[in-house]
Structure 1
């Protein structure tokens, strides 16, 4: 199979040139045959320019700038010899699995340090209360679970993401759910013997929200396993998920994760926990809406009764 690319020296003139330039796109004309795929095209581009390895490329075509998805035949986009393809350099990439490892290790380190070395962070040692001990165990368990899921459960449809994005993503986890949450939850204001510790230390309330947290974590794991089983190893296959949680919403993993952090916020009644809950839920809802729309666009028979993240609501 032969596939050749001729790089244009200029995007043209007028309005089209301005839009192409502002998007930092490079234009190519392509010669294709019936068996050519988007992957073949990306490999051919990488041959011409080794710095533009396939994961670094975003290819679009047509006036609507439709994205050419990896693994799809070029014929599905009605591309023919001499047609124009736009290439955007996404910059240096990093593997999603590595990104997840980096994101989740931050909270583990910060919670461990703040909880176990209070004299460094608060200037004095003190005994932790029951609510602090319980939250420490639950939060550490949550992020250790996430690391183990990254290693043994997740299968990624996209192999990489832009390297610079890892700093933005890590801020969310390292600071909001890591340092900020740990500092305010494990501090002396709710340590053993304080009025706040007595107020938060009701054993029944702690047991109820611990149960909610564990239910949410196990349900979240179940959703991740369902998604894993939809995609054979080494493929980008996408199918409609069914079963526990998925009959109500498109992203039950986000729903259950939200429920876990609701229980932490309710147990601690701490503004740092509420802040992380609000920010993380808003971000997961944005992701859920995007995935929900993608499911509906990709699968004509997608269940119409499903909501994106919150049953019966949205």
Structure 2
């Protein structure tokens, strides 16, 4: 397999072909998937090699591991060919996450700051302030993790995704939750007067947020900077579910729901939990496929006894 020196290139989308795609490229010794993308981009006239997508000819699935040596991939070596597609304008994963999480921080801050100009009584109840602090602190934590903790296996994603992803956070956890908690005439947080409920919500929130942060810090140690390798995670919460970071994330939001008493917060995390469950199922399948008997299979991927 290591003798692969020339790779045939075929457009994956004949209706939207890469016009200057070379029919073949010569492979340097130990060329990786990312090296191949750079070679193709250079010859095809692309300034960003991340726009180049490589796919297997047999399954048409993407070559995900950008650091894998192309000649050592059995399917590619046997075919001597890959399919190539222009993935469109790309944007860094880190940038997308920063923009996503910035929305709720700005919107909740603006909503609270605007109360004196929009309401006759601009004062907020202690529970409204507690809800505000919880939500802003949650997304501030997310921003810090994005900038300093998370390591991404892929460099970029299609730029159009930033609009879809940001809408969920800006519109629901941002605008909808801010209106419902601080402005809605039906806001339970505005009328709340039960410190015990606030305390229970705060305890759940703090435990969930701290635990989520600990799992994220641990996961960041399992991958080198810019690396794509995967290791079997162990320890805090991993004996219970595949993705304890999602479990603790949900728990933190249950704390916010408890404190805010707000339906919009429940709606936001319900939608988010559905997506996290899909991701967690995918991770469980990936662990089983990659590690086989070395991996202790999990019955529940996100919430013990439920999901």
Q: TM-score when scaled to structure 1?
A: 0.86
Tell me the distance in 2 between the aligned counterparts of 1:49 and 1:84: 17
**Offset at 1:34?**
6.3
* Other-structure match for 1:14: none
**Offset at 1:180?**
0.8
User: How do 1:173-212 and structure 2 match up within 5 A?
Assistant: 173-187=169-183, 189=185, 197-198=190-191, 200-212=192-204
Tell me the distance in 2 between the aligned counterparts of 1:237 and 1:159: 14
Report if aligned partners of 1:59, 1:85 keep a CA contact under 8 Å in 2: yes
The answer on 1:126 being equivalent to 2:119 is no
1:90 counterpart (78, 87, 92): 87
Tell me the distance in 2 between the aligned counterparts of 1:62 and 1:27: 17
User: How do 1:129-168 and structure 2 match up within 5 A?
Assistant: 129-168=125-164
The answer on 1:54 being equivalent to 2:49 is yes
The answer on 1:302 being equivalent to 2:295 is yes
SS at match of 1:67: coil
Report if aligned partners of 1:110, 1:174 keep a CA contact under 8 Å in 2: yes
2:208 counterpart (203, 216, 220): 216
What stretches of structure 1 of length at least 5 have no aligned partner? 12-18
Report if aligned partners of 1:3, 1:44 keep a CA contact under 8 Å in 2: no
**Offset at 1:304?**
1.2
Report if aligned partners of 1:5, 1:44 keep a CA contact under 8 Å in 2: no
CA distance change for structure 1 residues 305 and 36 in 2, over 3 Å: closer, same or farther?
same
Tell me the distance in 2 between the aligned counterparts of 1:260 and 1:308: 18
**Offset at 1:203?**
0.6
**Offset at 1:27?**
8.8
The answer on 1:281 being equivalent to 2:273 is yes
Report if aligned partners of 1:110, 1:182 keep a CA contact under 8 Å in 2: yes
Report if aligned partners of 1:177, 1:276 keep a CA contact under 8 Å in 2: yes
**Offset at 1:3?**
5.5
**Offset at 1:117?**
1.4
CA distance change for structure 1 residues 170 and 278 in 2, over 3 Å: closer, same or farther?
same
Report if aligned partners of 2:67, 2:227 keep a CA contact under 8 Å in 1: no
* Other-structure match for 2:241: 249
CA distance change for structure 1 residues 153 and 230 in 2, over 3 Å: closer, same or farther?
same
Report if aligned partners of 1:223, 1:244 keep a CA contact under 8 Å in 2: yes
Tell me the distance in 2 between the aligned counterparts of 1:27 and 1:312: 53
The answer on 1:42 being equivalent to 2:37 is yes
CA distance change for structure 1 residues 196 and 212 in 2, over 3 Å: closer, same or farther?
closer
Report if aligned partners of 1:104, 1:147 keep a CA contact under 8 Å in 2: yes
Residue by residue, what CA displacement relative to the aligned partner does 1:158-198 show, whole Å, maximum 9, x if unpaired?
Answer: 1211111001110011111011101110126367xxx8744
Q: Say which is worse superposed, 210-219 or 200-209, in terms of deviation.
A: 200-209
Tell me the distance in 2 between the aligned counterparts of 1:277 and 1:73: 40
Tell me the distance in 2 between the aligned counterparts of 1:152 and 1:84: 38
Report if aligned partners of 1:129, 1:190 keep a CA contact under 8 Å in 2: no
Aligned residues: 300
SS at match of 1:66: coil
SS at match of 1:181: helix
SS at match of 1:189: coil
Report if aligned partners of 1:31, 1:81 keep a CA contact under 8 Å in 2: no
Q: Say which is worse superposed, 296-305 or 240-249, in terms of deviation.
A: 296-305
Tell me the distance in 1 between the aligned counterparts of 2:270 and 2:232: 29
What stretches of structure 2 of length at least 5 have no aligned partner? none
